[in-house]
Structure 1
Amino acid sequence: MKFTEDGNLSGWVCTALIVLGIGICYVTFKFLTPSIWSALFALFGFVLAAVGGMCSRARLAHIKPFDNSYKKARKNCETKGDEEDK
């Protein structure tokens, strides 16, 4: 049971985030009384659903937002002047 695979959240995690976020928003709007806390709770649900949706779209576009490739790019961009300064 992996949470990430190939630099992105796995499919079941994206689905769970979307369903959980929509469920939190539904419960907030249907059953809680209007207050600042219920608005923050609904906002939290919306954020969860948005993160799940963005991760599923990144999977379709073959983008790896949770990959460590930036470390390799940083090493490739160093120049000899940077190495001499160290």
Structure 2
Amino acid sequence: MKIKLIEDGNLTSWLRLLLIVIGTVFVVVAIECKLEIFWARVFLLLGFAIALIGGMTSRAKLLHIKPFDNSYKKARDSYKTKDDKNNE
């Protein structure tokens, strides 16, 4: 069985939810646990970053945006002319 991480140009729903939950857990650990100030800051910033990635990909899914798609390569190739191909 092969696990898919990217589906239709976006992260899968279980992975988006997992990123949000892991980010939230990191933030809670940073705030509630008695950690050294350096490690508390690391966990807090890392938690915000992970949750941000999960949240932004969820919003992209709602707006039907495909942030992990390779369609831009096709668009870039469509602008090439015959002269560009001959020069290469």
Q: Is the pair's TM-score, using the shorter chain for normalization, greater than 0.5? A: yes
Q: Report the AA paired with residue 57 of structure 1.
A: R
Quote the residue 2:60 is aligned against: 58
Which runs of structure 1 show a deviation greater than 2 angstroms over 4 or more consecutive aligned residues? none
Secondary structure of residue in 2 paired with 1:64: coil
Deviation digits for residues 42-74 of structure 1, max 9, x if unmatched?
101100000000000000000000011111112
Runs (5+) with no aligned partner, structure 2: none
Q: Point out the more displaced range, 33-42 or 69-78.
A: 33-42
* TM-score, normalisation: structure 1: 0.92
Q: Report the AA paired with residue 52 of structure 1.
A: G
User: Deviation at 1:84?
Assistant: 1.9
Identical columns (%)? 48
Runs (5+) with no aligned partner, structure 1: none
Q: CA RMSD in A?
A: 1.2
Quote the Cα distance in structure 1 between the aligned partners of 2:83 and 2:52: 43
Count the aligned residue pairs: 86
Quote the Cα distance in structure 2 between the aligned partners of 1:55 and 1:74: 24
* TM-score, normalisation: structure 2: 0.90
- Contact 2:11-2:57 at 8 Å conserved across structures: yes
